[in-house]
């Protein structure tokens, strides 16, 4: 079985570190990518880490995971709340999905309470900051072992 886990990040997450630090913290996306790669090495997973501000690019990456990846960890950012296309792509990929949010979206504005992705995900990590990515990787490592 493949041990590749694809970690996908949606719009504006390239601005982490300077973007609303009271909500998203001071870590940059590069810091999170480094932490995920180290975690991947420890868990013997091959981690691929990507970010885009373009929905079509995100959909292409999701399609390319089909038959190739053991899991997708996705922080769809604002697309969480708007994109049927991302949800449909994730379903079409037939790859298990864990949804991650740095902030607790349920403690924020009402428009963030609905996710198009949650219902088709294995589970959701939300409000744990970058630890959510680590926990999601740990879960996939256990799934693969089982
Ligand atoms: C986010 C939460 C979303 O509501 C928001 O649009 C983001 C980041 C998070 O990681 O907390 O861009 O996904």
CA distance 74 to 63: 13
Q: Which domains does the chain have, with CATH numbers?
A: 4-139 (3.40.50.9100)
Higher pLDDT among residues 145 and 130, named by residue = 130
HSE value, Cβ hemisphere, 13 Å, CA-based, for 83: 21
Separation of CA 77 and ligand 1 centre (Å): 4
Which is the closest atom of ligand 1 to the Cα of 12?
Answer: 12
pLDDT (tens digit per residue) in 72-102: 999 999 999 999 999 999 999 999 999 999 9
Determine the pLDDT at residue 29. Answer: 98
Mutational test site, ligand 1, from 77, 83, 102, 128, max ligand atoms within 8 Å of CB: 77
Mutational test site, ligand 1, from 75, 106, 132, max ligand atoms within 8 Å of CB: 75
Q: CB–CB of 144/70 below 8 Å?
A: yes
Q: What is the percent of the chain with per-residue pLDDT over 90, rounded to a whole number? A: 95
């Amino acid at each position: 079985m493949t041990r590749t886990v694809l970690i996908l990040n949606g719009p504006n997450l390239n601005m982490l570190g300077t973007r609303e630090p009271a909500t998203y913290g001071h870590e940059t996306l590069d810091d999170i990518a480094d932490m995920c790669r180290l975690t991947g090495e420890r868990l013997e997973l091959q981690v691929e880490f990507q970010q885009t501000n373009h929905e079509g690019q995100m959909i292409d990456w999701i399609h390319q995971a089909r038959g190739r990846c053991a899991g997708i960890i996705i922080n769809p950012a604002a697309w969480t709340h708007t994109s049927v296309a991302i949800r449909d792509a994730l379903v079409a990929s037939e790859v298990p999905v864990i949804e991650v949010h740095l902030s607790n979206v349920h403690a924020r504005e009402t428009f963030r309470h609905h996710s198009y992705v949650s219902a088709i995900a294995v589970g959701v990590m939300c409000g744990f900051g970058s630890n959510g990515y680590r926990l999601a990787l740990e879960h996939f490592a256990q799934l693969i072992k089982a």
